[in-house]
Amino acid sequence: MKKLALVLFALSMMAGQAVAQKVEVMYFKANLACCHARACNHLENQVKAIVEENFQNGEVVFRAVRISDPSNAELVEKYSARSQTVVVVSANRRKEKVTDATQMVQDFRRTRNKDAFEENFIGAIKAML
């Protein structure tokens, strides 16, 4: 009986360690005037496309977070988010790791160098896996 209990305990510990770490890319957006909204939506779509094209196994998910939505107030405060803030969050049972990718996104918006942005952004996400 003790051996069975020990085996079950060992299996449960291994199962707990095998829990996949999930990464979430959050794109914070504000309610903006028409011309700014189009640019913001375009940037959001590019970030989302990079995530969806390069991480199709479900380990990485994209989420747009509206800053003005009261249900998102805690997230906005936690990450000090403004419009076009992008954070990559990796969480497991023990800890949470956060990478602020906002500067990468802003540099991309300014330079329009999609290849460099995509390489750096994918690298930042992979580092969180």
The pairing of beta strand 96-100 with beta strand 86-91: antiparallel
- pTM here is 0.78
Contact 64, 46 (CB under 8 A): no
Specify the residue for token string 């403004």. 82
Nearest alpha-carbon partner for 126 in 37, 51, 38, 42: 51
Written as one letter, the residue type at 63 is: R
Residue 12 pLDDT exceeds 80: no
Beta pairing, strands 22-29 & 86-91: antiparallel
Q: What is the spatial distance between Cα 125 and Cα 119, in angstroms, rounded to a whole number? A: 10
| Domain segments of the chain as ranges | 20-128
Burial class (CB in 10 A: 0-12, 13-18, 19+), 99: middle
Cα dihedral 100/56/23/13 (nearest 10) = -160
Taking the C-alpha atoms of residue 63 and residue 92, their distance in angstroms, rounded to an integer, is 18
d(CA 103, CA 107): 6
pLDDT tens digits, 29-74: 988 666 567 888 889 999 999 999 999 888 999 999 999 999 999 9
Question: Does the structure show a pLDDT above 50 at 15?
Answer: no
- Give the fold, CATH level 3, of 20-128: Glutaredoxin (3.40.30)
